[in-house]
Amino acid sequence: MGTRRYNIIIIALAVAISFAILISPCNKYRHASSYESFVYPVNKGWGYDILVKDSVFIHQESIPALEGNKPFITKAQAREAASKVISKLKKGESPSFSRSEIERIMLSQ
């Protein structure tokens, strides 16, 4: 009976440790207090980087959610997209964009 109980404890610990390892990268970015964006010129347009704790987390040279590799037309569009990404990350959401979100950004500038 002692060996069976020992095996159950070992298995439970292994599962708990595995779970902690799997979720730790997600929590690293969800709870980060230091998000920054950097907007930069690319070929005939603008792109942005999202930095977390001074490391590049997202490097975006083209408009996400649209076909092709076209950059943002204006610096303001890239800045607004980067701002929305940071807002999503702070809420624990996926930083991806839907087509309608991108279209709103493109039309607002």
Digit-coded pLDDT (tens) for 89-107: 999 999 999 999 999 999 9
d(CA 21, CA 105): 37
| Helix (H) or strand (E) run with residue 31 in it | none
- Model pLDDT for residues 32-58, shown as the tens digit of each residue: 568 999 999 999 999 999 999 889 999
Domain boundaries, the chain: 1-31, 35-108
pTM higher than the cut 0.75: no
Q: Phi, psi (5° rounding) for residue 48? A: -150, 155
Q: Would you state the pLDDT for residue 25?
A: 52
